[in-house]
Structures are given as structure tokens and as C-alpha cells.
Chains A and B, each alone.
Chain A
Amino acid sequence: MNRAHVRHYLNARYMTAAIVFVALLFSISLGSALLGEMASTQRSLSAQSPQIEDAIRQNDLIRAHKMLWPFLNGRVAAIQIEPVAFPSGKISASAPEKPSGILAHQRFELVSNGLHIANVAYSIDITHTAMTVFVDNVGFYLSLALFAAILMGYANSRTASALSFLEKRIILLARSSHRDGASGGQDIAHLADQIQDGTLSPACAESLKQLILAMDEHSKSRTEFAEANTTYEIAKQVAHDIRSPLSALKIATHGLKGMPTERVSLIRQAADRIQSISDDLLAYARRRSEFEHPAENQTNPSPFPLRELVRDIVKEKQVELSGRTNIVIHSKFLDADELFARVDPGQLQRAVSNIVNNAAEAIHADGHIAIELTRVDDKAIITVSDNGMGIPDEIIPLIGRRGYSHGKCGKGATQGNGLGLFQAKQIAERAGGELRIESRIGIGTKISLLLPLASPSSKGTLQ
């Protein structure tokens, strides 16, 4: 507990509250003492009423006067008896010392065995009573103050401990947020579990645990956002920079003579695709919030036939990977009908192309890549399967997250840009479908894009 904590918890407000409490307690004690004194005086006088009656009856005023002396105990400052049943003068007695302050005057009828013998008036010295009450209770008040101080000190020390604990955890949290996501998350989870160490109450510890987890989540989001931002900036720059050489390349293809037409066409198609990618990246960069808020400003694409799209990809990939003679690419169309889905054909083509590229990269020796289009219930499924090296089980849940890449060699998450599968997943999910990954180490990987079927005549609507 540092000085700031002490100052905070022993501030004027708390001191005022303590003083008000003691004052209230004192007032109650004083009120009780005054009421008790009144009751006691009346009770004692009533108990002596036969003797007082006897003295008055015999007009023995000295004896009557003597009877009043014991009542003048300091708190009762004066007492007067005015006989009503007998012809006798008033009997008065006052304390030898002058009353020190405010007086409370009381009156009552003195009845002796059924006979109203006199009216009694007496005065209670409130100041003296207050002093007596204070002196009588000073030990109690001091004890109370000491107890309150100990209690406050104890409570403050607990609060200070809790604050210190929280402070340390937040520092740890800040440090852990600079590390990579997975290990950082594990640290935080471990940290949150450690809270219940007896320093804090269970309820406080649980609140703190929830706070730490929420802060961790927030920190992760910020990190991811920053990473994505960087990626977009790079993509934007790349897309911008690539446009000029690409234009030159496209122009140059018009001058190619002697090259087989099929090859020239392939080069032009590849150049067009690079152009399309570049355009998309620029558009992506302009509409970055689309990824953060995909529902916003998103139109519903028109139904698009999938068979032709898959055929084009197969062809493209067969040419593209023709240099890798160890890889055989083949396709299967298991459904006789044309299948339609509401997807952006360019995006879908890039997504499938990326998946096929990933499959090719996973194959080191001889292998094959199968691209299938099939229908299950109301879903069209585009499946890319390979017999490559496979993906470890613990990595599979992470694939598809933004910024995470399994990489060419499967050795970590830093070698790819992580956009391929992330975009594929986004595309599938945006279309109301999903991305499924099945893989076994040494056997191969199967990635399926499940897309809801659409009827060819239906029109796009705003979602």
C-alpha cells in the first residue's frame, strides 16, 4: 500500500463519516440517558410516595425536603413538589452547584396508593448529563474508533493488495500482447487461472479473471487489426506497382510471333488474371472495412455456373504446373446438372486457385491433385484434395484465420501471407457456406468449399 492509497482511503469524507457515526452514537446514548433519568426519577419518587405523603400530611417539610436530596445527583438539577391533596407549602430542592448548561424541565403527577398527592416538577441538566455520558462511554468510543481504524486499515491493505495484484497482471498482460498470439493466449489463460491464490476474495478474483480475459481478447483484436492493416498497405502498394509492368507485358504479348496460339492465349489469360488480382487488391484496400464489417455495403452477387469455373481453373493449373511433371491434376464433375452459386466468380476462382497452389506446394514427390465439383443436398461442394505431406492436427483449427499460414514447408506460421485460405473461408461464409479442412500427416489434405445452391434465374438482392 503506497501513500497515495493511504491518502485515498483516509480522506476527509471517511473521517467525516466516522465523526458523524460517533456523534450519532453519542446522541443516542444521551437521549437514552435522559429518558432513563426521567423514568428513574419518576419511578423513585413514586416508590417513595407513601413516605412523601406522610411527611406532607404531617406538614414535616424538613423530612420531605430531605427525601429529595438523593435525587439531586448532578443530572437532576432541581426538584419541586407542590402538594395538592394537603394544605402544605411547596417543597423545593436544588443542587448545590449551579446548573452548567441547558435544562430539560419535566412535570408529572405524584400518586400515592391511588391518591394524587402532589405535582412534581424537576429539571435535568442536559449539559451535565452529556458530560457524564461522554465520560462513562469514552472508553467505548475510543475502542470503537480503534476498531474502526483497524478495520479500515485492514480493508485498505486488502484493497491495496488487490490493486497491486491487478497492476502486476496488467503489466504482464501488456507484455504478453507483444508476443505472438498462441503463446500469449496460453500465458493469459494461465495468468487468469492463477488469480485464485487467496489474495483476493473469490468474487473479486472471478471479476478480475473476466477482466483479464476481456483485455486479452481486445489486445488480440488490436494486434490482428494492425497486422491486417499492414498487409493491406503492402497489397495496395504491390497492386499499384504491378500495374505498369503488367500493362507493358500485355502490350508485349501482341508482338509475340511464332509462339503457339495456345501458349500466347495462356500468357494473356495469366496477365489478365494478374490484372484482375491487382484491381481486386486495390478495391480491397479501398474497401478495407469490408473485411471488418462484411455485411456492410455488400451486394448479393448473381448466380454463377460453377462447372465452367472449375474447368477453367483445372485447365489453367494444368498449364501452370506443367513444369512439375510429378504432379497430375485431374477433375471430376459428379453431378450431371449445372450447379449455380451466388459468389463473385473472380474471387472464387482466386480462392480455388490458391487452394490448388497450396496443394501443389504440399506435394514433394509424385502426387496428384483432384478438383471435384459435386452436390450434397442443397450445397455445391468444390473439393481440392492432394496426397501431399498433410497438416498437423493442432494447426488445422488455425488455418483460415486471417494472417495465419501453414507455409510451404509446414514449419511455422510465418512463411506465407495467410490470405489464401482466409479469403477462401471468407468467400464461402459470405455466400452462406463454409470451408472444411481434413488432413492427415503423410496421407494428404482435402479442402472443401461448401456453397449454397442458387437457382440460375434468381436475382441478387441486398442482404
Chain B
Amino acid sequence: MRARLFAFTALIGLSIGIAILKSSADKDEEWTVISIGLPDRIEPKSAMANMGYYILKQTHEPLFRETGPGLFNSKILLSWDRNASNTLFRICPALGKSFDSGRPFTARTLVQHLSKSIRELKKNAAIKTSDDCVVIEFEKPFNAFFKTFSQYEFAPSVPSSDPRWEIGLGPFQVVSKDKSSLTLQKKEFGEGHFNSIRFLDYSGPTDPILQDRSVEDFNRVLLKDQPDWLKHDMKMFDVSLLQTVNLFINIKDPMVRALIFQCMPIHEFRKAFMNGQLNFSDVDGVIPVGVGHARRKMVAQNCKRASVERGDESLRFINWNTGNEENLKRVFEELEERTGLKISTAAVTTADFIRDVFGRRPGYDLYVVAIDAVRPEISPFFEPIVDQRRRLLDFGPILDTRMNLLENASGDAAADLASEINQEILDSHVVLPLYQEMRTFYYPRKMKGNSTGRNFLEYPEVAELKP
């Protein structure tokens, strides 16, 4: 009897053991992302590009997080206060935060970080430490202090031993990088969590990695290249992205810009560029519907047939998409017929495009850029166009003063100001809004910790997810 009982107990124990082992084996603790155009260097500045932002959200932590309209909180500060005129700020780092094992986040490192950031922001301020806190006294009121330091571009960061990446205060840090892949590892291993993240650039629609069903995140992949099985195998989240896709007209001659702006057939062009995608959500400016006064309608165009004498010189359209050459050619021929402007197409890889567009932009006359933000704010949509420090083109108006006003405004006043800036951008013809991105996001069915609204779907915080 006793032997039978022992055998039964052993069998139960074995079953439980196998179940636990199987469960552990089933849980893939690496979050894999199919990426498109990894940045050359992982640093706070990379936040301006989509993939850079995705990576920084894992590796860095800004001083503040905006948890509601104008309301800020922090994961790395213990406390903060300010004076009524917003010239004096006192911020105290939380204990126990560190970049890596040898470099804790202290008042001293915070002073270094703030000094550098304030220089970049071209602000005059005196910074000193006081009782493990940092006191910053600005010459003039800095109303956008919290908003500015809630951006990943101003997240605390220190150099690593490898010049290709920096280390932030996020839960992950870069451990290896090459041209088409990047691996992040969690600083503190967590049982039952994703402990590493791998970004893999895909080379095109035929890349076999697109058929790898162990990949968690295919949402960076162009819509046309996304595998069909995602719809069946993964959980779908329909998201109206805060993103507009725009044709940047980086041409000095305002007449030429105006011609392209007024006569480029938006319907045909966006359909051709996106390889036959049929459904597009119209938008009447560079800010998407849901932000400010943006409306769901197409930009008003008024194409008067005209001819601009440019000889044999043709404009260059920088094409980072693939398989759309023939369609684009037909659209450009139609435009030439309307305006006499010749447009040639130059194909680039996505990575090259991202590198160039944030750099010197050699021969970049026309190119498509998606502008987005990770929160419903207005200024990030204008920055790539009218902010001298951040814009992705060489011509057109620079509206730093108004942008400052916008950063300090709120509510209806901000929306009104945004409408003015938007109109000025449209009037300058440097950007032709094409459509607002509507996308379905796909995530593994069994994944926990992700929900619309809490963990921003477009750029998940992988540390909060569980396999």
C-alpha cells in the first residue's frame, strides 16, 4: 500500500515538474522586433526617428513623464519643486537608480546632464547642487521645463565603452549592435519577463525573417510587407495613429514648391508610393485628427497648369520604399504633364534614408516622411518642419518664436496657435500632407501587460510586458 502511494506521489511530482519545465520552455524571454532602419548610434537624439524612439523607450528614462495634460511624474526623481515664475527649479534624484553598476544616478551626474541639455536648449541658467538635489535658476522663466525634460531627447545618458551606443536609466541597455541588428539586455533579470530585446532590420518583402513566427513585433514592417498570418496568429489592436504621412518638398524655389504642392495628385501619389494600398485616411494638415483643430479631409489644391523653365534638370524623389517604381513613374509623368517638372527617382534603403534625412540631406528634393508623436501634443508635428534645430528640410519658414509660444500654451489657445502654424506651413508649400496613418497593430495573444492607453501600443515598454 505504502509503495503504491509512493509511486502515485512520484507520478504526480513528475507531472508537475514536466509541466513547469514545459511552461518555462514555452516562455520565450526574448522580445524580437522586425525593425526598419536602425539608427547608427543609440543616443537621446535618436528619439527623433521611429526606431530610435522605440529603442530609447527601453534603454532610457526621461526626467519626467507626462501622465496627464500638463501633469508630470517621474520614475527617477525623488521630488521636485519650483517657484511661481518658473525660473527656479529644485530636483532631487531618487536613490538607487544607476546607469550601470559603476555609475549611479546622483546629483552630480544630474548637474552634468542638465548643464549639457540647457546648453543645447540655449538657455542661460545657474546650476548647483544642494542637499543631494540640484537647483537650477534660469535667467528667464522656463515654462516648458517639465515638457522639455519629459522628452527622450533630453533623457539622462552617459557614454558607454562602445561609441555606438550610450547608456540611459531605462531597464535595458545595449549589449551588441551591427548594421542590421541590435540586442538589448535587461539590467536586472526578472523571472517571467522579457529579459532581452532583439531588433532585426528586414531587407525587403522576401526576407525570410518575415515568416518567423517566434517574432513578437511585426508592427514596424511596412503594411505591404506584413505577412498575412499575423491576422490569425496574433491579437489585433486597431489604432488611429497620431501620425501624418507627408511629402516633404525640400526645394529652395517657392514657385516650384507651389507647383508641386498644388498639382501633385495626392490620391494617385499616395496609392503609388504605398504600392497599391487603397484605403487612406485624409487629413488637412501636418497635425493628425485628434490633435488641435485637424480635420479628416484632404488638403485643398488648386493646380493651374503652368510651366517652369528648368532645362533638363530634374528633381530627385528619394524613394525608401520598394516595388513602387513603375507606379511612381506614371504619377511623375502626369505631374510633368501638368507642370513641366521632371522628377527622377533615387532608391535608398530605409536605414540610409534615416541617416541622411537627419543629416545633410544630399540631393533630397522630395521625400516622404511620417511625422508622429507619442502623446497627443502639437509641437512634435511641427518640429520636423519649422524648428530650426530639428527640421528635416532646408527651406521654408522657421517659426521658433511661435513654437515657443505653442509650448507654453494650452487648451484652445494652443489649438488656435497650431492652426496658424499649420496654415503657414501649407502656405509655404514645403510639406504636402498625404494621409493620416490608420493601422492595426499585432501582438502575441498570450502576452500580458499591454493595453491601449496605458502602455502606448506603437512603442511598447517591453519591461512591463510578460510572455
Assembled-state Cα–Cα distance A117/B80 (Å): 14
Of B65-73, B261-269, B350-358, the one with at least 4 CB within 8 A of chain A: B65-73
Q: Which one of B70, B82, B83, B146 contacts A51 once the chains associate, using CB atoms below 8 Å? A: B70
Cross-chain contact A113 with B82 (CB below 8 angstroms): yes
User: Do A115 and B410 form a contact, CB below 8 Å, given A47-B71, A50-B70?
Assistant: no
Q: Of all chain B residues, which has the CB nearest A47? A: B68
A117 contact set on B, CB distance < 8 A: 84
Cross-chain contact B69 with A50 (CB below 8 angstroms): yes
Closest beta carbon of chain A to B450's beta carbon, Å: 24
Given known contacts A113-B82, A114-B82, what 15 new A-B pairs fall within 8 Å (CB)?
Answer: A46-B71, A50-B69, A51-B70, A51-B410, A51-B411, A54-B410, A54-B411, A113-B72, A113-B80, A114-B79, A114-B81, A114-B89, A114-B90, A115-B81, A115-B84
Give the residue among B70, B82, B146 with the most A Cβ atoms within 10 A: B70
Assembled-state Cα–Cα distance A113/B84 (Å): 11
Check A19 for interface membership: any CB of B closer than 8 A. no
Check A49 for interface membership: any CB of B closer than 8 A. yes
Assembled-state Cα–Cα distance A113/B68 (Å): 11
Q: Of all chain B residues, which has the CB nearest A115? A: B82
B84 contact set on A, CB distance < 8 A: 85-86, 115, 117
Closest beta carbon of chain B to A91's beta carbon, Å: 17
Cross-chain contact B81 with A51 (CB below 8 angstroms): no
Closest beta carbon of chain A to B126's beta carbon, Å: 19
Closest beta carbon of chain A to B21's beta carbon, Å: 45
Assembled-state Cα–Cα distance A49/B410 (Å): 13
A residues neighboring B (CB under 8 Å) = 46-47, 49-51, 54, 85-86, 113-115, 117
Assembled-state Cα–Cα distance A46/B81 (Å): 15
B82 contact set on A, CB distance < 8 A: 113-115
Assembled-state Cα–Cα distance A54/B86 (Å): 12
Cross-chain contact A115 with B83 (CB below 8 angstroms): yes
Cross-chain contact B80 with A49 (CB below 8 angstroms): no
B72 contact set on A, CB distance < 8 A: 113
Cross-chain contact B80 with A51 (CB below 8 angstroms): no
Q: Of all chain A residues, which has the CB nearest B72? A: A113
Assembled-state Cα–Cα distance A54/B69 (Å): 12
Cross-chain contact B80 with A50 (CB below 8 angstroms): no
Assembled-state Cα–Cα distance A86/B84 (Å): 7
B residues neighboring A (CB under 8 Å) = 68-72, 79-84, 89-90, 146, 410-411
B79 contact set on A, CB distance < 8 A: 114
Closest beta carbon of chain B to A416's beta carbon, Å: 58
30 contacts between A and B (CB under 8 A): A46-B71, A47-B68, A47-B71, A49-B71, A50-B68, A50-B69, A50-B70, A50-B71, A51-B70, A51-B410, A51-B411, A54-B410, A54-B411, A85-B84, A86-B84, A113-B70, A113-B71, A113-B72, A113-B80, A113-B82, A113-B146, A114-B79, A114-B80, A114-B82, A114-B89, A114-B90, A115-B81, A115-B83, A115-B84, A117-B84
Q: Of all chain A residues, which has the CB nearest B79? A: A114
Assembled-state Cα–Cα distance A49/B69 (Å): 10
Assembled-state Cα–Cα distance A46/B71 (Å): 9
A46 contact set on B, CB distance < 8 A: 71
Assembled-state Cα–Cα distance A114/B149 (Å): 14
Closest beta carbon of chain B to A368's beta carbon, Å: 61
Assembled-state Cα–Cα distance A319/B83 (Å): 136
Top 3 A-B residue pairs of the complex, sorted by shortest distance between their CB atoms: A50-B70, A114-B81, A85-B84
Give the residue among B71, B72, B82, B89 with the most A Cβ atoms within 10 A: B71
A85 contact set on B, CB distance < 8 A: 84
Give the residue among B69, B80, B84, B410 with the most A Cβ atoms within 10 A: B84
Closest beta carbon of chain B to A60's beta carbon, Å: 10
A86 contact set on B, CB distance < 8 A: 84
Closest beta carbon of chain A to B130's beta carbon, Å: 15
Q: Of all chain B residues, which has the CB nearest A84? A: B84
Closest beta carbon of chain A to B262's beta carbon, Å: 40
A50 contact set on B, CB distance < 8 A: 68-71, 410
A51 contact set on B, CB distance < 8 A: 69-70, 410-411
B90 contact set on A, CB distance < 8 A: 114
Q: Of all chain B residues, which has the CB nearest A46? A: B71
B89 contact set on A, CB distance < 8 A: 114
Q: Of all chain A residues, which has the CB nearest B146? A: A113
Q: Of all chain A residues, which has the CB nearest B410? A: A54
Assembled-state Cα–Cα distance A17/B81 (Å): 54
A49 contact set on B, CB distance < 8 A: 71
Q: Of all chain A residues, which has the CB nearest B91? A: A114
Closest beta carbon of chain A to B454's beta carbon, Å: 16
A115 contact set on B, CB distance < 8 A: 81-84
A47 contact set on B, CB distance < 8 A: 68, 71
B70 contact set on A, CB distance < 8 A: 50-51, 54, 113
Closest beta carbon of chain B to A155's beta carbon, Å: 41
Closest beta carbon of chain B to A290's beta carbon, Å: 59
B71 contact set on A, CB distance < 8 A: 46-47, 49-50, 113
Assembled-state Cα–Cα distance A381/B391 (Å): 129
Assembled-state Cα–Cα distance A50/B90 (Å): 18
Closest beta carbon of chain B to A44's beta carbon, Å: 11
A113 contact set on B, CB distance < 8 A: 70-72, 80, 82, 146
A114 contact set on B, CB distance < 8 A: 79-82, 89-90
Assembled-state Cα–Cα distance A85/B83 (Å): 8
Assembled-state Cα–Cα distance A113/B82 (Å): 8
Assembled-state Cα–Cα distance A51/B81 (Å): 17
Assembled-state Cα–Cα distance A80/B216 (Å): 51
Assembled-state Cα–Cα distance A304/B83 (Å): 120
Q: Of all chain B residues, which has the CB nearest A63? A: B411
Q: Of all chain B residues, which has the CB nearest A54? A: B410
B69 contact set on A, CB distance < 8 A: 50-51
Closest beta carbon of chain B to A179's beta carbon, Å: 49
Assembled-state Cα–Cα distance A115/B84 (Å): 7
Closest beta carbon of chain A to B14's beta carbon, Å: 39
Assembled-state Cα–Cα distance A46/B67 (Å): 12
B146 contact set on A, CB distance < 8 A: 113
Assembled-state Cα–Cα distance A86/B86 (Å): 12
Closest beta carbon of chain B to A61's beta carbon, Å: 16
Closest beta carbon of chain B to A47's beta carbon, Å: 5
Closest beta carbon of chain A to B301's beta carbon, Å: 38
Q: Of all chain B residues, which has the CB nearest A58? A: B413
B68 contact set on A, CB distance < 8 A: 47, 50
Q: Of all chain A residues, which has the CB nearest B81? A: A114
Q: Of all chain A residues, which has the CB nearest B409? A: A54
Assembled-state Cα–Cα distance A338/B89 (Å): 123
Assembled-state Cα–Cα distance A411/B154 (Å): 116
B410 contact set on A, CB distance < 8 A: 50-51, 54
Closest beta carbon of chain B to A59's beta carbon, Å: 13
Closest beta carbon of chain B to A407's beta carbon, Å: 56
Q: Of all chain B residues, which has the CB nearest A57? A: B84
Q: Of all chain B residues, which has the CB nearest A53? A: B70
A54 contact set on B, CB distance < 8 A: 70, 410-411
Q: Of all chain A residues, which has the CB nearest B77? A: A114
B81 contact set on A, CB distance < 8 A: 114-115
Give the residue among B68, B79, B146 with the most A Cβ atoms within 10 A: B68
Q: Of all chain B residues, which has the CB nearest A85? A: B84
B411 contact set on A, CB distance < 8 A: 51, 54
Closest beta carbon of chain A to B114's beta carbon, Å: 15
Closest beta carbon of chain B to A199's beta carbon, Å: 37
